[in-house]
A and B are shown apart, each in its own frame.
Chain A
């Protein structure tokens, strides 16, 4: 399915030309300049009248030439070899005092007017619009803004690629494979690959490496996201759109901060996302904040207790664009980062021994959030054109998009220098449609400590990970003390794709290492170089008990719902980041167990209840990583057998597996005064519809659909969520 990596220049050139050739032939045929007979004569037509597969002339067939899954020839590597550049650590976003924000954040969206740039669509010179793109009014006001006042300001932008002159890896150069952070960091996937142009790559702050947001419980953040993309919608380098909506993946925040797909904002505007960082259950569990396990690092070795259920502590999130109909393109274009959340249990300090801290590999210098031995890894496959510029086929999105170049932290197959000690890796699948399955090249053990960023009840020793679906996060501990200085060991991807529907096969380690796979993203993608003994002894631990699951057994199940994810006529996906096939909505609150039709949203779960949801893959040979916003679930049942030990924690993405099913249980609480469930999918019946339910609804059969926000540069307007006027 992929052009072999050793393909001659001639073949690559031929592949480059194939698409164009094909178009010329079709055009010439259509225009009557050539006849079918000519094509027969040239051997390019089958007797059935189809253009031959060969030379990429037939767009229906993924031929050996031009039809790599990207719809383009193999991405040229300009002679670059794997493992010849260091892997940059994430770039830590500055954390400022809230008072530094100008204008100051407001509970309701700031409607101060500014003169609009006439290059924006729908704007005539002299028009004005609000400086903040968040929908106005109380429904979209930050919930619990006075109860959880923001303390930290994190100003970010999304903008076109540029050189990074303020790179902060959070660690010294020795722990960043020798990279001198003071040296300007160019926007390129390898020192010997071309710079990405400002229209090809759009990232947070416009730079590489990808950004890391650091937070801790009880310390609210205003994530002020400024849109600095081009005003002219056409300036998109062939894919992506300049309007944004940022989803804090697995955030337990009010819906106004969730990155609702239809609440997007324009270039020249900002959107204040308020992340209070609270423990789920804060309204009903440990409300007096008396349990030290429900706590946050206080900055001086102690614990600040917070309300909520300590068993709901979360550790590794990510944030990404969630723009209506353009999520995949914008995320692929670079608009994604990670978010480490620190707590009394998982405080990012391996030395503090207070009976609560789990002392996972991290470091000791700072009270919390030491990144020395706690490393974020973002895996993503990319493709680029003959000029080395990022490319995406905007029409080939029905079956999912698989590219041919493997990147880690947005650089091409790097190496990473490690000391002889334990490391924690927070691994994110940031691809569009590709799944990964990771092993070490010597098949030696790793310890999985978290799934979807939540510490498991118990660590699990593995020699290869489960499949890592899109948007899933696995936290893995690797102990490099077993190696000698000078040795290397690599992370290997065992999962082969032929298209974006699902992985085609899992290879053995030796097969994956042999280089025989047709998929260029199979094999080694990150090389660890063991360079020295640690200066300080490794005092980190991986305790036998991490975070037990919340016990839901005493909470009655209010309802059971079944959601089928199928490949029916009314179902497709526009959001491969949460790449389920077919929209999902909230089934009706009918009494019977309902096979929900995803063509509609109806009722929402009631506040303060627990439900059991059956997520069923309705066949079609697809796999669907299903993401549910806001509330985490526990997997009760995997249909075909036991729930693997690595999935026995709390999750927010559920891989259904082909023809598989997953039964989960969830609670609905905390921000119930107004809560939204929504579909990410274009093909959803009422795509932009939001629902809310009231705490005091008392079981009434009435729905309360919110007016749908309709952002325009001049301001957000609203329309009724259903068609109440007859046309």
Chain B
């Protein structure tokens, strides 16, 4: 039997030589090209009809997420973060990379609704919001690795992935749409092989930070939409907010803004209306984290006052 095995190895070596002759290199074709992606029609926020493959993917580098405008959960944060990313990518937007945000609620999210939403978040050139036929969207998001079985049951369960792709190279990478935009910008630049024209810090310049907990949470969670004393962004300037509002109300609102809005809390509704119906996301902070954030905001406000 052992001898038999040796013989079969020899035979197989010969066989494999022949196999490799007629199969050729396994990498010649891009597996993730026109054969893979459906060319379904989608509609942009400006009402233009575009084809997924021919018009949006073919020959391009892209970053794609799914969202819906009435989302009370993660989407506002996703869109706000992507808006930051868009600003970081600057001139490259619409030239070296295109953003696509595909609604998974096409019935409600008409081009008009998407356009208003895009304007609210300061969406610039190179970033399309897309709606369309429900089946086409399902197919497109499935093929892009952005759909989940449970989406049909609950849109809130939708993927917060950001698929970054280099279509001609057949390279795709899953990222988080709510990740730190600077980190995303760097990751995308590396992945797409852009020359890093804005040099990062060398080791000698990069030191560990010493942050207090409130500062850390503010910087990582709140500063996407809020400043302290530098004016309104997506949400209000928070300078003096601890003096302006009742502390217990603030803590409750930060912990569960969706709930206050649903309850019809008058301040929550007024803020919602004032800030162009941008929903404050529920960041799921714990009570001690909220307390830390509030004391940081309060301290910063005081520091500015002095």
Stretch at the interface among A7-15, A604-612, A681-689: A681-689
Is A27 a contact partner of B27 (Cβ separation < 8 A)?
no
Q: How far is the CA of A324 from the CA of B186 in the complex (A)?
A: 13
Contact residues in B for A139 (Cβ distance below 8 Å): 203, 208
When the two chains form their complex, are residues A237 and B213 in contact, meaning their CB atoms are under 8 A apart?
no
Knowing A23-B35, A122-B190, A569-B74 are in contact, say whether A186-B16 is a contact too (CB < 8 A).
yes
Instruction: With both chains docked as a complex, state the minimum distance between the C-beta of A541 and any C-beta of chain B, in angstroms.
Output: 32
A582 to chain B, nearest CB (A): 11
Question: Which residue of B is nearest A598, CB measured?
Answer: B284
**One of B93-101, B164-172, B262-270 contacting the partner:** B164-172
Number of interface residues of A (CB under 8 A): 107
**Majority SS at the chain A contact face:** loop
Interface contact B200-A718, CB-CB below 8 Å: yes
Cβ of A165 under 8 Å from chain B: no
Q: A723 near B180 (CB under 8 angstroms)? A: yes
The verdict on A719 contacting B210 (CB below 8 Å), with A394-B145, A569-B156, A726-B227 known, is no
B173 lies within 8 A of A325 (CB): yes
Q: Is the CB of B180 within 8 A of A59?
A: no
The distance in angstroms between the C-alpha atoms of A266 and B35, with both chains bound, is: 31
Contact A30 B284 (CB under 8 A): no
Check if A718 sits within 8 Å of B206, measured CB to CB: yes
CB distance from A518 to the nearest CB of B (A): 19
Across the interface, B16 reaches (CB within 8 A) one of A135, A194, A701, namely A194
Of B25, B73, B203, the most chain A CB neighbours within 10 A belong to B203
Instruction: Report whether A398 and B159 are in contact in the complex, using a CB–CB cutoff of 8 Å.
Output: yes
B110 at the interface (CB under 8 A from A): no
**A210 interfacial contact with B, CB 8 Å:** no
CB distance from A416 to the nearest CB of B (A): 13
Closest approach, in angstroms, between the C-beta of B165 and any C-beta of chain A?
10
Q: A237-B26, A387-B26, A727-B181 are in contact. Are A717 and B199 (CB under 8 A)?
A: yes
Cβ-closest chain B residue relative to A188: B16
Point out the residues of chain A lying under 8 angstroms from B87, CB to CB: 727
- Asked whether A597 and B84 contact (CB < 8 A) given A395-B143, A570-B74, A723-B223, the answer is no
Q: For B8, give the chain A residue with the smallest CB separation.
A: A191
Q: Is B182 an interface residue (CB 8 A)?
A: yes
Given contacts A398-B145, A572-B159, A723-B223, contact A30 B180 (CB under 8 A): no
Judge whether B160 and A683 touch: CB under 8 Å.
Answer: yes
A189 and B40 alpha carbons, distance in the complex (Å): 39
Please pick, from B38, B143, B150, the residue contacting A567 in the complex, using a CB distance under 8 A.
B150
B221 close to A600 (CB less than 8 A): yes
B182-207 near A? 1/0 per residue, CB < 8 Å:
11001101111111100111111111
Query: Is B276 in the interface zone, CB < 8 Å from A?
Result: no
Within 8 A of A (CB), among B199-230: 199-213, 216-217, 219-221, 223-224, 227, 230
For B183, give its contact among A388, A572, A688 (CB under 8 Å): A688
Instruction: Decide if A682 touches B179 in the complex (CB within 8 Å).
Output: yes
Q: Which of B26, B145, B199 contacts A396 (CB 8 A)?
A: B145
Asked if A194 contacts B84 (CB within 8 A), the reply is no
CB under 8 Å from chain B, chain A span 195-215: 195, 197, 199-200
A588–B288 CB distance below 8 A:
yes
Chain B residues near A689: list those with CB within 8 A: 180
The minimal Cβ–Cβ distance linking B233 to chain A, given in whole angstroms, is 8
A85, A122, A707, A721: the one within 8 Å of B193 (CB): A122
User: A38 an interface residue at 8 Å Cβ cutoff?
Assistant: no
Q: Does A588 contact B213, Cβ atoms closer than 8 Å?
A: yes
Determine the residue in chain B with the shortest Cβ distance to A389: B26
Q: Are A233 and B169 within 8 A (Cβ)?
A: yes
- With A238-B32, A395-B172 already in contact, the answer to whether A686 and B220 are too (CB < 8 A) is yes
Q: Is the CB of A720 closer than 8 A to any CB of chain B?
A: yes
Q: Contact check, B26 vs A594: say whether CB atoms are below 8 A apart.
A: no
Q: How far is the CA of A269 from the CA of B175 in the complex (A)?
A: 25
Residue-by-residue, is A156-183 near B (CB-CB < 8 Å gives 1, otherwise 0)?
Answer: 0000000000000000000000111001
A135 to B201, CA, bound (A): 12
The smallest beta-carbon distance between A581 and chain B, in angstroms, is 11
A26, B139: Cβ atoms closer than 8 Å: yes
Q: Is A724 an interface residue (CB 8 A)?
A: yes
Q: Judging by beta carbons under 8 Å apart, are A136 and B203 in contact?
A: yes
A117 at interface, CB cutoff 8 A = no
A705 touches B201 (CB 8 A): no
Task: Tell me if B19 is interfacial: C-beta within 8 Å of chain A.
Answer: yes
**A685 to B16 CA separation, bound complex (whole angstroms):** 48
Please, how many angstroms separate the alpha-carbon atoms of A385 and B88 in the complex? Answer: 40
Please pick, from B15, B193, B204, the residue contacting A137 in the complex, using a CB distance under 8 A.
B204
Cβ contact within 8 Å between B213 and A569: no
- Residue B298 at the chain A interface, CB threshold 8 Å: no
B227 — which chain A residues lie within 8 A by C-beta?
A: 726
Taken together as a complex, chains A and B put the C-alpha atoms of A123 and B196 apart, in Å, by 9
Interface residues of chain A, those whose CB is within 8 Å of chain B, are 20, 23, 26-27, 30-31, 49-50, 59-60, 85-86, 120-124, 135-137, 139, 178-180, 183, 186, 188, 190-192, 194-195, 197, 199-200, 233-238, 241, 324-326, 385, 387-389, 394-399, 567-572, 574, 588, 590-592, 594-595, 597, 599-600, 602-603, 620, 681-689, 692, 701-708, 710-712, 714, 716-724, 726-727
Given contacts A191-B12, A388-B23, A723-B224, 9 further A-B contacts (CB under 8 A): A23-B38, A122-B196, A199-B26, A599-B284, A685-B179, A706-B208, A718-B200, A718-B206, A722-B220
A-B contacts, 10 of them at CB < 8 A, read A139-B203, A186-B12, A191-B11, A197-B25, A387-B26, A395-B32, A572-B159, A716-B203, A719-B182, A726-B230
User: Could you tell me which B residues sit within 8 Å of A by CB distance?
Assistant: 1-2, 5-6, 8-9, 11-13, 15-16, 19-20, 23, 25-27, 31-32, 35-36, 38-41, 51, 73-74, 84, 87-88, 135, 138-139, 142-145, 147-150, 156-161, 163, 169-176, 178-183, 186-187, 189-196, 199-213, 216-217, 219-221, 223-224, 227, 230, 233, 283-289
Return the 9 tightest CB-CB contacts between A and B, nearest first.
A121-B193, A717-B200, A718-B206, A395-B145, A137-B203, A191-B12, A590-B288, A707-B206, A178-B2
